[in-house]
Structure formats: C-alpha cells, structure tokens
C-alpha cells in the first residue's frame, strides 16, 4: 500500500528556489518500479499535472508552465523523487503532491502534500 510523504515546501520570494522531496513511508510500496509524477493544486483550482519521470529516469515530461524552470529527478536507492523548482513565480503557489502514475488502484488517495507559497 502506498503512503507517500511530500516535504520541502515553504514561503519564498519570486525568483527564488525550492526543492521538494517525495518519499515512501511504507516498505511494501517500491517507488523505484513506478513512474512518478508531481501535481499541484492552487486554491479554487483543479489539481494539475506538473512533471513526471519514468521508473528508470529515462523519460521526463513537464507541463508547459514549468518547462525550463523545474527539474524532476529520482534516487531509486533512497526511493525518493525530487522536484527542483527555480525562478519561482507567484502563480506557482499551490499545494504540491507526488503520485505514482498511472494511478491504478489509488482511488481518491493523495498524500498530505507540501505547501509552496511564492510572494511577489
């Protein structure tokens, strides 16, 4: 069963950087065999895709809104997925979540997320 814990969020000024981490807190779920993705949800908006990385790290995708500013990576030995966010903008303000993809068998489950707030 998956139980993912996101961390690394905070308050930062526009143009600043943050590095988010996503770790699995249950050994029964092997992060390294799954493609993983980051999503975000801003107040009053739908959750949206941010970035994804294949299990091997060989394929990476980004939403157009974050291309060139965000970098996704993973360390399978540590079963952790990262999101390096640079040149942050106020519109990046949201709660960020990680998830295996596709979300087979997860239903409505999401972790607690990590809040990112970018001030102008």
- Which H or E element spans position 50? strand 48-53
Task: Tell me: cis bond preceding 102? Omega within 30 of 0 counts.
Answer: yes
Q: What is the DSSP string of 57-94?
A: S--EEE-TTTTTTEEEEEETTTTEEEEEE-S--GGG-E
Neighbours of 1 (CB within 10 A): 8
pLDDT in tens, 29-38: 666 678 999 9
3-state SS assignment for residue 72: strand
Which pLDDT belongs to residue 114? 98
User: What is the residue-averaged pLDDT of the chain?
Assistant: 92
Residue 105 has pLDDT above 70, yes or no: yes
- Mean per-residue pLDDT for 110-120? 96
Neighbours of 35 (CB within 10 A): 16
3-state SS assignment for residue 42: coil
Which pLDDT belongs to residue 31? 62
Neighbours of 33 (CB within 10 A): 10
pLDDT in tens, 61-96: 999 999 999 999 999 888 899 999 999 999 999 999
Residue 102 has pLDDT above 80, yes or no: yes
- Mean per-residue pLDDT for 41-66? 96
Residue 75 zone, left/alpha/beta (φ > 0; ψ -120 to 50; rest): beta
């Amino acid at each position: 069963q998956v139980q993912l814990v996101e961390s690394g969020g905070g308050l930062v000024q526009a143009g600043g950087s943050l590095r988010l981490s996503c770790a699995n807190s249950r050994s029964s779920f092997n992060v390294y065999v799954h493609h993983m993705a980051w999503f975000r949800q801003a107040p009053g908006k739908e959750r949206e895709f941010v970035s994804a990385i294949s299990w091997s790290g060989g394929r990476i995708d980004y939403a157009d809104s974050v291309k060139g500013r965000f970098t996704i990576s993973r360390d399978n030995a540590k079963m952790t997925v990262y999101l390096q966010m640079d040149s942050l903008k106020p519109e990046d303000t949201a709660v960020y979540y990680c998830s295996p993809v596709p979300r087979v068998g997860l239903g409505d489950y999401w972790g607690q997320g990590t809040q990112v707030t970018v001030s102008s």
